[in-house]
């Protein structure tokens, strides 16, 4: 059993630990390249500014720390988490920034056959001041996700307090009807995901109509396809919700098209980033 004296006393005063007053970002590395890293760091710092964090290390230093961590640990294809605590200014405790990594939890078969989701019994509070930020307050998400796992699903889907479609426990939700793509708007109580925004831009560039708005469970029940997005899974087909098959119960044509657009974009960005990194490393020799 570890001795409590081994825990730094200053850390026990950090509001990140005491009250969940902290922020995090989760991203993927591909061949050692952190995908859309700048967008994740921008969101982390924008949320920190809006939520009153002070005394944070400069952006360039945070970026260097994360890049050094990925290189040192040789994280070729992993999930990387950036975490930032609020600290405790009144007690002289500064914000803490640290990094962790884990394996990618999805398999090729998940993308080929799609996954199942379950409707969460809890409701997303679209009026919450923190709903659009990626905070440490993830207990409701985690409990709902674990309940979904117990029901044989790999994701759960929240409705908001008005009974409208909101988001997944760790993803944004899209659905398809008559070859049009629909997704809940920010007003529905969602975290505006970076992958969500990327997919919206890719679909717009491909001439696919996307409607952001407020949708009832009835609207969602009539969809022919559904997919989820986040920075770890990318674009993931959802083929069943509880006991109901979505469309034909297999990834649909529009979902496959979105996946191809996203994968092509990923390859272009990571290849470009790899070239920039290699050029930077060679110039340092």
| 16 band by pLDDT with thresholds 50, 70 and 90 | very high
> How does the average pLDDT of the chain come out, rounded?
92
Percent of the chain with pLDDT over 70: 91
7 pLDDT more than 60: no
| 269 band by pLDDT with thresholds 50, 70 and 90 | confident
CA–CA distance, 11 with 208 (Å, rounded to integer): 49
| 263 band by pLDDT with thresholds 50, 70 and 90 | very high
Average pLDDT over residues 104-130: 97
Which residue in this structure is represented by tokens 């297999």? 250
User: What tens digit of pLDDT does each residue of 38-60 get?
Assistant: 999 999 999 999 999 999 999 99
Average pLDDT over residues 73-97: 95
Residue 12, pLDDT score: 80
| 9 band by pLDDT with thresholds 50, 70 and 90 | low
| 1 band by pLDDT with thresholds 50, 70 and 90 | very low
Percent of the chain with pLDDT over 90: 89
117 pLDDT more than 70: yes
Strand partners, 172: 229
Maximum pairwise Cα distance, the chain: 62
User: What tens digit of pLDDT does each residue of 231-258 get?
Assistant: 999 999 999 999 999 999 999 999 999 9
Domains and CATH numbers, the chain: 7-102 (3.30.470.10), 108-267 (3.20.10.10)
CA–CA distance, 74 with 32 (Å, rounded to integer): 7
CA–CA distance, 11 with 211 (Å, rounded to integer): 45
User: What tens digit of pLDDT does each residue of 171-211 get?
Assistant: 999 999 998 999 999 999 999 999 999 999 999 999 999 99
């Amino acid at each position: 059993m570890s001795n409590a004296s081994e825990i730094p006393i200053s850390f026990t005063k950090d509001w990140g630990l005491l009250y969940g007053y902290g922020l995090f970002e989760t991203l993927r590395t591909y061949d050692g390249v952190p995908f859309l890293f700048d967008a994740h760091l921008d969101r982390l710092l924008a949320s920190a500014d809006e939520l009153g964090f002070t005394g944070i290390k400069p952006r360039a230093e945070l970026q260097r720390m994360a890049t050094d961590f990925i290189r040192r640990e040789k994280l070729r294809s992993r999930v990387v988490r950036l975490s930032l605590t609020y600290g405790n200014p009144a007690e002289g405790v500064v914000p803490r920034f640290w990094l962790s990594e884990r394996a990618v939890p999805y398999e090729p078969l998940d993308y080929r056959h799609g996954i199942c989701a379950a409707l969460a019994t809890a409701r997303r509070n679209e009026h919450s001041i923190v709903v659009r930020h990626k905070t440490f307050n993830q207990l409701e998400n985690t409990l709902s996700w674990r309940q979904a796992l117990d029901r044989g699903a790999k994701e759960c889907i929240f409705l908001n307090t008005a009974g409208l479609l909101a988001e997944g426990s760790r993803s944004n939700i899209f659905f398809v009807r008559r070859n049009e793509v629909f997704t809940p708007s920010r007003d529905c109580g969602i975290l505006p995901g970076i992958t969500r925004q990327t997919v919206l831009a890719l679909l717009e560039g491909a001439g696919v109509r996307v409607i952001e708005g407020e949708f009832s469970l009835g609207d969602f029940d009539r969809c022919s396809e559904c997919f989820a997005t986040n920075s770890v899974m990318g674009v993931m087909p959802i083929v069943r919700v509880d006991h109901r098959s979505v469309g034909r119960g297999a990834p649909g044509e529009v979902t496959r098209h979105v996946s191809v657009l996203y994968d092509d974009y990923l390859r272009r960005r990571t290849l470009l980033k790899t070239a920039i990194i290699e050029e930077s490393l060679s110039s340092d020799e």
